[in-house]
Copies of this chain bind each other. A is one copy, B any other.
């Protein structure tokens, strides 16, 4: 059944509010951004904004969920079925660097900064989605070790080393800088998976 035009318009408006709020929260932090400011930037009254979003915390939760959706659509779902664990990890790293550098830097910033802002069920839901990614990486590292594709290392250290290299790019990467997103993605994969050892 086709989605009625009215629903599509409502959804687009909802997305637009999340985008605007994400921009403000990314800049000043959750605590530093008032509902009043978000409403104003959306061209709404405070009451009008509350018509779309029940609470400020819910808004934050929806922004983080949207960031996790993007990650799952553009990274995880595209690599999780790669049978070769080493290829799965390499492709995952390259795609995730590209998502952070090109796509979703404000959602990523918020997910990374506001970890402890959410409470209760919302917090548990976002944390579970993050943890799933860590487990996915640990499993892939274990499989690659089992196949003899990589050395024996601690899979948790490897997973967080991987994540650190990838996620840190949101801090330093500039689209106008000397390195392209592609160069960073390929460079990081090469750095971790080929390693630094000379004449290897």
The interface of chain A, by Cβ under 8 A from chain B, is 27-33, 112-113, 115-116, 148-151, 153-154, 156-158, 160-161, 163-169, 171-172, 178-179, 183-184, 187-188, 190-200
Contacts and interface: CB of A to CB of B under 8 A. Distances in A.
Contacts of A165: 160-161, 164-165
A153 B188 CA distance: 10
Contacts of A161: 165, 187-188, 191-192
A156 B179 CA distance: 9
Contacts of A168: 160, 163-164, 167-168
Given A112-B171, A163-B168, A151 B29 contact: no
15 contacts: A31-B31, A32-B32, A113-B113, A149-B198, A150-B196, A151-B195, A151-B196, A151-B200, A153-B187, A157-B183, A157-B187, A157-B188, A158-B191, A161-B191, A195-B195
B197 A151 contact: yes
**Chain A contact residues, majority secondary structure:** helix
Question: Which of A166, A195, A200 has its CB near the most chain B CB atoms (within 10 A)?
Answer: A195
Report, nearest first, the 8 A-B pairs whose CB atoms are least far apart: A195-B195, A31-B32, A164-B168, A157-B187, A29-B29, A164-B164, A150-B196, A164-B165
A175 to B, nearest CB: 15
Given A165-B164, A171-B112, A179-B157, A194 B191 contact: no
Contact of A194 (B164, B193, B195): B195
Nearest to A115: B171
A161 B194 CA distance: 13
A149 to B, nearest CB: 6
Contacts of A29: 29-32, 113
A157 B184 contact: yes
Nearest to A114: B29
